[in-house]
Structure 1
Amino acid sequence: MRIEWSHLNKVYASKNHPRSRRIGLLDFTAAARKGITAILGPEGSGKSTLLQLTAALQVPDDGRITYQLEDGETVIWSRGRAAAAGTSALGNLKSRMIYIPPMRRMNHSISLEKYLLYRAQLSQLPYPRRRVAELIAEWGLAAVRRASLSAIPGEMVKRVLLVEMLLRDPLIALLDEPTAGLDHWGKRLLWRELRRLAPHRIILVATRDLRWAECADDLLLMESGTCRRMGPKKLLTANVPEGTVAAWYEMMQTFANHRSRSRRAGLIAERREKGY
C-alpha cells in the first residue's frame, strides 16, 4: 500500500490582490508507505496543502496523487479526475480516509456521546456503546459526554476528533498538528494509538513537535512547497551525533539557511558586477 505524489503543483491567488500568488506546492514528488510519516518543515512550506490535497479536500493545479491499495486497486486524484467525476472518482477510498485539521469548532447540537455512538454504528463496530464509553473514559471526555458538540471547550475538541478517528478506523489518516491543544498525557496516548495502527495503515502527520515526531517510521522534510528530503527516520537521524529528529531537523535548517545566504550573496555580487 502506497501513496505517490507526482509533480504536484498548487498555487493560491490572493483575494485582495488577484495578481499576487502564493505557492502551496511546486513540482512536489514523493511517496509514502505504510506506517507513520512525519511531515516537517517551516511555516508556509506546504505541509497543510499536501495533506488537504491528499484528502481530496482540494484539487491540484497539475500533477496527480496515486493511491495503491492492498487489494491491487489503484485510485488517482488529479485535476482531470476531479473535473470529470468529483470526489466520486475516489470510490470507496474517500470514506476510508480521515483528515484532522489543526483545530476546528464543531457546530452541532447533538451531544458528544450520541455523536460518537453514531460514528461507531456507521463503522459497524461490535458493541458500539461499550467502545464509545471506553474511549470517552480513556481520553478524559467524561465531563463533557452529555454536552453538545458546539459547547465543548476548544482545548478538548482535538481529543474528540482523535476519538472519532479511532472509531472510524481509517485506511489513511491525515493529521495536521494533532498534538496542538493536547497535554502530555494526550500526546502519549496518541503516540500509543498511532503506533498500534501503523503496521496496516498509512498515517501522515504534519507536526512542529519534533520530540513527538520520534514516533515516526519515515520523515518528509518540506521546503517552499517541495520535497527536500525523505527517508526512513533511522537512516536520516543516523547522520547526526544525537540521533534525534530535532537534531536532524536543526542540521537541515542550518544547511538551508547557509544555502540561502550564499544564494543571496551571489545575487548581490552579480548585481554589483552589472553596475546595479
Structure 2
Amino acid sequence: MGKTMTMWIEWSHVTKIYEFETENKWARNIGLLDFSASVQSGITVILGPRGAGKSTLLKITAMMMLPDDGRVTFHTHHQTMDWSTGNVHASRPEQLGELRRKIGYVPLVPRLDQEMTVELALFHLAQLYGTPDPRKRSCEMMIRWGLAGYRQTPLMKLRGGVLKRFLLAQSLLLHPTFWILDEPTRGLDLLGKQLLREELQRQPKDRITIIATHDMQLAECADYLMLLESGACRRLGKKKLLTAGVSEGTVAAWYQAMQVFSKEKSSFKV
C-alpha cells in the first residue's frame, strides 16, 4: 500500500483498554482491540454504534491519548513517523511537536474553561506555532467561520454552534495535513453546517480528513467509509462501491443494512 500512495495513516494492532472501579471491583471496557486499518488522502467517515471505539480511535490518532499497544504511523510526502508508547520515549520532543502541528483536531466537548477571548486564542496559537503573519491568519479564520462578532468573547462563554465553529476554526488555523473531527455537527448551528460542507468541498487533495459521526447527511461527503464495531474495523472501502450494494444507494441505507446483518449474526446459534 505504501509504495503506491504518497500519504496515509496506518493503525497497526492498536489496543486501548479502560479500567475503572465499580462497587469495589475493577472492571474493564474495551476502547480498541487489535485495531488494524489504513486510510489515504480524502475524507474517511467512521460509523458505528455508541461504544464502538470511535472517539478513542480519534483521540489516539490526534495524539491526545497513547495506545496501550500497537502504533499509528503517519506517512507524508517527506517523512514517516509513529505514535506509540515506545516511540514517545525514543523520539525527541521536537519530532513529536512537528507531527502534532500537522494535526487539526475537533473534540466532542460541551464547553471550554479558558478566560482568553476568541481573537487572542486564535492569535496566540498561530503565533506559538510560527504561522506567517499570525494576526492576519487568525482574522481570516474568524471571518471564515462567522466569529467576527464574538472576537472579544471569552472562550468559557461560548456555547452551542458558536463554540463548535470556534473549535473548527482553531483546528484549521495551521493548515493541517490530518484533520480529525469527532461528531462535528453535534450542536453545530445552520451557519456552521453550511461552512463545514463548504470546507469539505474544497478539501486539499493532499489532506487526510477523518470524521466520526452519526449524521448520515454529513456522511454522504465521504470518499471512504469505515464501520467500527466493538473496537475493531469491520468494513472499510470506497463509499461509491459500498453504497452501490444497497438499492437506495445512500450511506444511511448501507449502514442500516450492516446493522441488520450484525444483529442477525449475533443472534445466530450453533
State TM-score, norm by structure 2.
0.89
- Look up the match of 1:27: 34
Q: Is the 8 A contact 1:36 1:198 kept in 2?
A: no
Give the Cα separation in 2 of the matches to 1:241 and 1:234.
13
Give the Cα separation in 2 of the matches to 1:131 and 1:89.
24
Compared CA separation, residues 241 and 180, structure 1 to 2 (3 A): same
- Look up the match of 2:3: none
Alignment of 1:30-179 (within 5 A): 30-71=37-78, 73-85=79-91, 90=96, 92-122=98-128, 128-179=134-185
Q: Is the 8 A contact 1:82 1:89 kept in 2?
A: no
Give the Cα separation in 2 of the matches to 1:205 and 1:64.
20
- The 3-state SS of whatever aligns with 1:168 is coil
Are residue 247 (structure 1) and residue 256 (structure 2) matched?
A: no
Give the Cα separation in 1 of the matches to 2:88 and 2:121.
30
Of 222-231 and 16-25, more deviation after overlay is shown by 16-25
Amino acid corresponding to residue 240 of structure 1 in structure 2: V
Give the Cα separation in 1 of the matches to 2:93 and 2:228.
26
Give the Cα separation in 2 of the matches to 1:87 and 1:253.
43
Of 154-163 and 39-48, more deviation after overlay is shown by 154-163
Amino acid corresponding to residue 22 of structure 1 in structure 2: N
Identity of aligned residues (%): 48
Which structure has the highest helix share of the two? Answer: 1
Q: Is the 8 A contact 2:101 2:174 kept in 1?
A: no
Q: 1:219 aligns with which of 207, 211, 225?
A: 225
Give the Cα separation in 2 of the matches to 1:38 and 1:209.
10
* Offset, 1:234: 0.8
Give the Cα separation in 2 of the matches to 1:109 and 1:171.
29
Compared CA separation, residues 236 and 151, structure 1 to 2 (3 A): same
Residues 115-160 of structure 1: per-residue CA shift (max 9 Å, x gap): 2223344455555545444433443323321111122224421110
Amino acid corresponding to residue 176 of structure 1 in structure 2: D
Q: Is the 8 A contact 1:29 1:226 kept in 2?
A: yes
Give the Cα separation in 2 of the matches to 1:88 and 1:138.
31
Give the Cα separation in 2 of the matches to 1:107 and 1:182.
19
* Offset, 1:15: 3.1
Compared CA separation, residues 20 and 259, structure 1 to 2 (3 A): same
**Count of equivalent residues:** 263
Give the Cα separation in 2 of the matches to 1:83 and 1:122.
24
Q: Is the 8 A contact 2:59 2:65 kept in 1?
A: yes
Of 87-96 and 233-242, more deviation after overlay is shown by 87-96
Are residue 194 (structure 1) and residue 200 (structure 2) matched?
A: yes
Instruction: Give the superposed CA RMSD.
Output: 2.1
Q: Is the 8 A contact 1:159 1:182 kept in 2?
A: yes
Compared CA separation, residues 233 and 198, structure 1 to 2 (3 A): farther
Compared CA separation, residues 125 and 10, structure 1 to 2 (3 A): closer
Of 151-160 and 19-28, more deviation after overlay is shown by 151-160
Q: Is the 8 A contact 2:101 2:129 kept in 1?
A: no
Q: Is the 8 A contact 2:161 2:189 kept in 1?
A: no
* Offset, 1:83: 4.1
- Look up the match of 1:182: 188
Compared CA separation, residues 123 and 94, structure 1 to 2 (3 A): closer
State TM-score, norm by structure 1.
0.87
Are residue 259 (structure 1) and residue 265 (structure 2) matched?
A: yes
Compared CA separation, residues 15 and 194, structure 1 to 2 (3 A): farther
Give the Cα separation in 1 of the matches to 2:144 and 2:105.
22
